[in-house]
Amino acid sequence: MSRVTICDVAPRDGLQNDPKVLEPSVRAELVNRLASAGVPRIEAVSFVNPARVPAMAGAEEVVAGIERREGTVYAGLALNDKGYERLRATGLDEAHFAFAVSEEFNRRNSGADVESSVQSCLRMIETAHADGLRATITLGTSFGCPFEGAIDPGRVLELAARFVDAGVDEVVFADTVGVAVPRQITNIVSGARSSSATPVGVHLHNTRNTGIANAWAAVEAGATVLDASVAGIGGCPFAPRATGNICTEDLVYLLHGEGVETGIDLDALVVIAEWLEGVLGRPLEGMVYKAGVFAPVAGGQVLHVASPDPAR
């Protein structure tokens, strides 16, 4: 049986653009619930300017409220040197860095051109390694940009190779605005895998309902890390019309049904999604937490299965 690592990004990417801003204590509770469900890696916070992303204010308080669980990797996102210094001071296990491949998107998001962001990320990765932290890089808009349109996959792979050469621990390709189809995912992931042994991951959004198909294409192409968000919450605050990340419990249902192990308790994820629906006060994007786990496919219990409609 093959295995992939799921990184749940709900506490960070999931909540950063939500209309309901949660207190740090509630965000820490979400992290703790995910860890208890066996999620192996959690992106708990981002160290960004709270004036730009108010939902991420109080990152240090969130980390202080985490009940560390053995076997869980707790990560944070930093976009500049100040953010990294804040991350390092909290004692998190892993540092995530990111930039956008698209010049226009990167300028709007960070105020810098791509080359400047690449140099900044390379420098921070070197610092993180010197500090004993594992470091990953995410290449945003790897599959398309709302401002520039199509993105040259050759350029994406060239940029990724620079980080591989610098010793980054993992390269993640992000479909920031949810435009990719499986063919694109396969081309990028297989291209990256063919040129190095550095682990490859994908960060997918379900804006056009291709997210889960793209995740499976990534697994078949050799990706070993998949970002997802419990209940499918989230979306980039600087991406027009962006919707949620692919849903963790929906992804786990697919993977377990296909014989790919994750180490995650699917039933526990469903409970978390139900809890989060109550916290946010609205129905969320996930499907499995509403329809129920069909045990013959993915194991676990059968939950919330409605009576069949006799008219259909």
Residues forming the active site: 236
137 close to 125: Cβ distance less than 8 angstroms: yes
| DSSP characters over 25-77 | HHHHHHHHHHHHTT-SEEEEEEE--TTT-GGGTTHHHHHHT----TT-EEEEE
Report the run of H or E that residue 140 belongs to, with start and end.
strand 134-140
Query: d(Cα 209, Cα 213) in Å, to the nearest integer?
Result: 8
261 close to 2: Cβ distance less than 8 angstroms: yes
Rounded to 5 degrees, φ, ψ at 8 are -85, 120
Query: d(Cα 117, Cα 115) in Å, to the nearest integer?
Result: 5
Query: d(Cα 107, Cα 214) in Å, to the nearest integer?
Result: 27
168 close to 135: Cβ distance less than 8 angstroms: yes
In whole angstroms, what separates CA 99 from the centre of its chain?
A: 14
Helix, strand, coil abundance in the chain, percent, nearest 5: 45, 15, 40
First vs last Cα of the chain: how many Å apart?
Answer: 38
Query: d(Cα 227, Cα 208) in Å, to the nearest integer?
Result: 17
| DSSP characters over 244-262 | PBPBHHHHHHHHHHTT-B-
